[in-house]
Each structure stands twice: as structure tokens, then as C-alpha cells.
Structure 1
């Protein structure tokens, strides 16, 4: 059900809202004492729009902000949340702060080279605000009548992926470990050989009725996640088989029979080969 504020209620006290560009999904969990905001969009300007949307949903203050992983379309709105609530903790996996800083030049150079991109100026104008409340395995918060936990199930889309579970509502916010509106995104910081097992651990958190909110797209259920895990395992298995057969990395994409377009698995192949070559 979509509320009059534009948020979709996906479970008791749990909301999601999709934003362009990239069809990114932000989440909110509403407790009696405040809100947990999950991901913040891709610029300070867009983060301020998110703050306005939060105000339309609830008059309660934001108790914490959680970034599901380091990527800019989920984190570059952090400054706006901190601007509105100066003391709010920014929560993420312990790898995220350093990786977010290391990735800033790549992201801003990319937008600098795209003068016609409508988001160019706002991304370049965004001041990076990194998470300051980090954890290695599990983080939890009591929002007042609503307990929430965040879990790092392993590496996959990035090294610091986090899923957020609301047990009382049977809702899981999965970040980009699960995507609905596009295939899983393998990037230069992905872990393609570990991703299937990481999603298998996420599956262990799900019941047959769990609502899973992906990092991009509409809410899904357990069967969708299981299906995506099959595709992830297919990619990982083919990368391992091609490498074991001595196929050069530059030829591997053309030699595979992939569940996604060849252009979507280029990073999976190169990252997989690199990880297999490590001692």
C-alpha cells in the first residue's frame, strides 16, 4: 500500500520509496522514539529531498541512518541527513568509510566527464560524509516498540554489504545484494565468487512470507531471492570453470553462456580471475 506521503508500506512500521535515477530504493523503519533511515540517495540535493519526504511520512526525528554499502547512489545524501539532524549516527559496515573515500575520485571524475548528465553538478557539489558508527558483523537498535538488526552476511556486491531485518514485521532490506529492476550489478569492487554464498546466508533470514526490499526496484519474496542466487552461482561457477580450463581472461566473456548480457559480467569475470589468482 502506498501512503498519501508517497511511501509504500511494506510491513508493520516499515516503508520503502523508489527514486530516480537508477530506481534506487530507500527504506524507513518507524519506531515510537524515532526513525531508522536506510540509504540516502546520490547527492546532497537529493538527500534534502529525502529529508522532506521523511517529514511527510512522520514528525518523529531520525534516530539513525544506515548505509547498506559504500556506493554513491546510496550514501551521497548523508550530508543532508546530518545537516538536518546533526547528532544522528551514520551506521555502516566497518569497511565502508575508507572505501567510500577511496572511491570518491572515481565517481566525481566520471561525472566531470559527463557534461550533459543532469545530475553532474549536484554530484560534484556533494561533500562526502562518511559513516561514523561502524560494525563488523551485527548491529541492532531499539526504536521504541520496534527492534531492528543489521547483519553483514559476507561479501558480494561489495566488501561491506549489509542487510537490515525487522523481525516483528518479517521485512528485510537487502541493499544491492538483491536487485529487482535490473540484474545484479557486478562492479570493480564486487566479489563474484563469494556473492552466491552471501545470498544463501540472506535466504536463511527469510520465511515464506518475508518481504524483501531490494536496493533497486520493487519488493520481492523469498522465491525471487532464491532465483537470483541461482544466477549468481551460475556466473561464479562459469568463471571458475573457465579459469580452470586455462581460458585467458580476455577471452572468457565470449566463451561463457551467461544468465545476463555479456556486458554485465565483464567485471565478474575479471574480478573472479583476480581472486582465483591470489595465493
Structure 2
């Protein structure tokens, strides 16, 4: 796991698996963890890292309900988990889904966890809306499209945008059985004004970006998604830096969801 301070009040950690990011943000004597790393040893060391950096974690936030963003409960079991209203609704509608998907992942990679995964309860937060940390407020912005749920977190005093599973320099936009290309595009367009203010953008998967690089990725992602909506979706343009074999496979997966009517 890699940890980098992008502001005196913001630390971003990146998992060794899928480059999944988690963000520590603080004000005064209170700190939140947004999303989570994946591997058990990364989660084990996270409390010590936070304590050493003087981030006293009192709460957890998750940008959406995919299992790889919910594992902060292993590192900070006493902290309450806050999620946007759509994510709370998804967790209620899909009981046990995250635990099953985590179990499948762990079985595939021979990973042992200290205890079974569970989220005993969540606090549903209004989106758009605000979430207090210390004496300051985080802004919550709608970020659906990749999945049916989602919220991005804007940290105004640090000029940092935690984008959820968007704006990755490694991966093209990924659809899901609950995805909507129109809503995905709407989320990217909502990000536009924030990117003009952002010093740092934290994608769900990949290294932190500066605002200009994130804006370039946004333009590429819009072009790709508009291509999927066109007459020949199989020819949707993959960004030059993301034309790897894995991303071509992801493109085929996106096409299969569209053909089967599982994404729109």
C-alpha cells in the first residue's frame, strides 16, 4: 500500500490490488476515512498510519456500495459508516451482496480475513448535501451512472475531489448491470466545475491527479461513452493511454451489457 499526503489535512492511500484508493480527511481533532484499501495487511496498518499522522478517525464514508469500497469497517470497527441515500437504498435492496462478492474474491486469491464481513448499520446522508468533519463540511455530490448509486466528496478547504469510480487514468469507464450511460455522462458533466477548482482529484482506482489531467481524462471518457451511444458502439474510441488488453476486454464487457439490455 502506498500513502501520499496531498494536503496537510488529506492523505490518500492506494491498495496493491486494482489501485483502489482510500482518503483520510481531517479537521481539528476529527477525521474520516473515505472508501478503503482491499488487502488485510493494508487494513491492519491503516490505524497506525492514521495515528502517526494525527488523523483520529471517528467516521467512515463510502462513495458507493461496491464491496471494495466498504472495507474500512475492518480497520475502524467502532466508526459509523455514512453513505449517500442511494447507496443506503442499494445496500438495503441487496442484503449480503457485498459479503458474497468479497468472499468470492478472497477464495480466488486465497485471502483470509480476521472475521466475516458485515456492515451492521449505515447512516444515510442527503446528496447533494453536506457532512460535517470537525468544524468544517464536506460537500456530497451525486455520482451515479457507473452503478445505480454513488456520491463524490468535495473537500473545499483542501481543494480535493474524491470522485469514486470515475476519472481513472488506468481504466476506461466501466458499466455495470445497474449502469446508465446518460447518468454517467451527467456525473462527468457535474464534475466539470469542480475540476476547475481542484488541486487534486482522487479516482476510485489509480493515483491522485491534478485538476488539468483529470479534466483531460473526463473529455476522453465523455467521448468513449458518447461512442457507446452511437450507431456503432463497438467502435467507441478507447483513450490512447488506456488501449491495453485489459481495457479492450472491459470494452467488450461493456458492449455485452448493452447487447443484453443490462445497462442503458
**TM-score category (smaller protein):** 0.7 to 0.9
Residue 202 of structure 1 pairs with residue 191 of structure 2: yes
Pick the aligned partner of 1:98 from 78, 86, 92: 92
Match of 2:44 in 1: 48
Once the two structures are superposed, residues 87-135 of structure 1 have per-residue CA deviations (whole angstroms, 9 ceiling, x without a partner) of x321112232236635336514633762xx143x339x53221651112
Q: How does 1:152-191 map to 2 (within 5 A)?
A: 152=142, 154-191=143-180
C-alpha separation between the residues in 1 aligned to 2:186 and 2:67?
25
Is the Cα–Cα contact under 8 Å of residues 148 and 164 in structure 1 kept in the other structure? yes
C-alpha separation between the residues in 2 aligned to 1:95 and 1:148?
18
Once the two structures are superposed, residues 148-193 of structure 1 have per-residue CA deviations (whole angstroms, 9 ceiling, x without a partner) of 22222x4222222211111112111112122134333334443333
Shift in alpha-carbon separation, 1:126–1:106, aligned structure 2, 3 A: closer
C-alpha separation between the residues in 1 aligned to 2:16 and 2:94?
21
Q: How does 1:106-121 map to 2 (within 5 A)?
A: 107-108=101-102, 110-111=104-105, 114=108, 117-119=109-111, 121=112
Shift in alpha-carbon separation, 1:73–1:241, aligned structure 2, 3 A: same
DSSP 3-state at the match of 2:28: coil
Q: Which has the higher strand share?
A: 2
| Structure label with greater radius of gyration | 1
Residue 33 of structure 1 pairs with residue 19 of structure 2: no
Alignment RMSD: 2.9
Residue 264 of structure 1 pairs with residue 250 of structure 2: yes
Is the Cα–Cα contact under 8 Å of residues 228 and 236 in structure 2 kept in the other structure? no
Is the Cα–Cα contact under 8 Å of residues 24 and 34 in structure 2 kept in the other structure? yes
Pick the aligned partner of 1:225 from 211, 214, 218: 214
Shift, 1:276, TM fit? 7.7
Is the Cα–Cα contact under 8 Å of residues 70 and 99 in structure 1 kept in the other structure? no
Is the Cα–Cα contact under 8 Å of residues 43 and 77 in structure 1 kept in the other structure? no
Residue 78 of structure 1 pairs with residue 64 of structure 2: no
C-alpha separation between the residues in 2 aligned to 1:133 and 1:66?
9
Residue 150 of structure 1 pairs with residue 144 of structure 2: no
Gaps of 5+ in 2: none
Shift in alpha-carbon separation, 1:194–1:33, aligned structure 2, 3 A: same
For normalisation by structure 2, the TM-score amounts to 0.80
Once the two structures are superposed, residues 47-84 of structure 1 have per-residue CA deviations (whole angstroms, 9 ceiling, x without a partner) of 333223222221x53232101111222112324312xx
Shift in alpha-carbon separation, 1:53–1:101, aligned structure 2, 3 A: farther
